[in-house]
Chain A
């Protein structure tokens, strides 16, 4: 994978809004953003109600994913361009789902909603509907998904990358600072995890930094790309952003997203937790 096959620019997107076979999809947790204005022709996916199972803590299974895409009018051979708010966090999460279920052509819009808005590019409130399709999803690809036991086993052996903010890593904050800090889980990080906040990979307008800059950031942080890597954050969406950078832009192999992330790990009984700014010992 590379930048050419994983990312499109805002200029490209604006020129291809009406191109057949290209489907723009806005992904936000809070869909009110879409309703106040979206890219012309774009449909929406709600991170929580569309992409998460509504009973178990898990995301939609293969059949649910296929039913969702069929109903929204996305076909297997469409090129899906994902974008959203929060610096594309949830769009990156959705990208990871599309990769998990084997969608062939999927891209992120570089800069997402933020760059689009700051550039004063067109937004519309027109209702978009697409004819239903018969989407077929593949079996989910667990080579890009890590579960909790694998994370515990990775302590001191694989690259663990904590992509939350430095204060969350150290245990001084329990959630991103736009949310209240009363949280059920313990504070801290997985011992031996390095801290590389997701935001280091992005410019302030939400676009990704250059490949050269990205390589330097992870090399300086001590990421050994000959080893397997597991990225995590709090609920798995910021770590999807970093998974995207490492695997889809830089072409690393064996990168997994731990979508259980700190809300799961920080609630596990008996697992080791490190506090402070240093990775800590095994």
Chain B
């Protein structure tokens, strides 16, 4: 069994490799790194995936290397990062396969 019903909704480890069973012909993966003003990865940032109407879709916490990952659908999404170093936003247009993004955060 891969991530499924039994896996619940808790955010999985954001640094773990993509499951081998994952079908990238079907999945739209949005992945990337949160970086601070100095370009350093931000660990423990909260990254929110908002849909085209700005409605919340999912949220994960970045890994020790600042990484995050979502399984979305093709379309336009907003990434919103919250951290002790400040917050940041990035609009991404995703298609099937892997979509990479860097979300900058800075003290507001």
Please state if A178 and B70 are interface contacts (CB–CB under 8 Å).
yes
Tell yes or no: A238 within 8 A of B by CB: yes
Please state if A177 and B23 are interface contacts (CB–CB under 8 Å).
no
- Cβ-closest chain B residue relative to A114: B46
Most buried by A among B9, B46, B55, B73: B9
Please state if A85 and B10 are interface contacts (CB–CB under 8 Å).
yes
CB distance from A260 to the nearest CB of B (A): 11
Given the complex, which residues of B lie within 8 Å of A90, measured CB to CB? 10
Given the complex, which residues of B lie within 8 Å of A247, measured CB to CB? none
Please state if A165 and B71 are interface contacts (CB–CB under 8 Å).
no
Picked from A30, A173, A204, A238, the residue with its CB within 8 Å of the CB of B12 is A30
Please state if B10 and A180 are interface contacts (CB–CB under 8 Å).
no
Please state if A184 and B59 are interface contacts (CB–CB under 8 Å).
no
Please state if B71 and A179 are interface contacts (CB–CB under 8 Å).
yes
Please state if B51 and A178 are interface contacts (CB–CB under 8 Å).
no
Please state if B71 and A120 are interface contacts (CB–CB under 8 Å).
no
Given the complex, which residues of B lie within 8 Å of A118, measured CB to CB? 46, 82-84
Given the complex, which residues of B lie within 8 Å of A47, measured CB to CB? 8, 10
Please state if B9 and A166 are interface contacts (CB–CB under 8 Å).
no
CB distance from A149 to the nearest CB of B (A): 20
Given the complex, which residues of A lie within 8 Å of B51, measured CB to CB? 165-167
Given A181-B26, A263-B5 in contact, is the A165-B10 Cβ separation under 8 Å? Answer: no
How many contacts between A and B, using CB within 8 angstroms? 110
Please state if B10 and A235 are interface contacts (CB–CB under 8 Å).
no
Picked from B7, B13, B82, B84, the residue with its CB within 8 Å of the CB of A179 is B7
Most buried by A among B3, B13, B22, B26: B3
Given the complex, which residues of A lie within 8 Å of B3, measured CB to CB? 179-180
Given A30-B10, A118-B46 in contact, is the A172-B55 Cβ separation under 8 Å? Answer: no
Picked from B55, B69, B72, B82, the residue with its CB within 8 Å of the CB of A199 is B55
Tell yes or no: A117 within 8 A of B by CB: yes
Interface residues of A (CB under 8 A from B): 28-30, 32-33, 47-48, 85-87, 89-90, 114, 117-118, 120, 165-167, 172-173, 175-185, 197, 199-200, 204-205, 234-235, 237-238, 263
27 A-B residue pairings within 8 Å (CB atoms): A29-B9, A30-B10, A87-B59, A90-B10, A114-B46, A114-B82, A117-B44, A118-B46, A118-B83, A165-B58, A167-B57, A178-B59, A179-B3, A179-B12, A180-B3, A181-B27, A182-B4, A183-B4, A183-B5, A184-B5, A197-B55, A197-B56, A204-B48, A204-B80, A235-B5, A235-B9, A237-B9
Contacts A165-B56, A165-B57, A177-B58 supplied; 10 other A-B pairs, CB < 8 Å: A28-B10, A33-B61, A172-B73, A176-B58, A177-B49, A180-B71, A181-B73, A182-B4, A182-B23, A199-B56
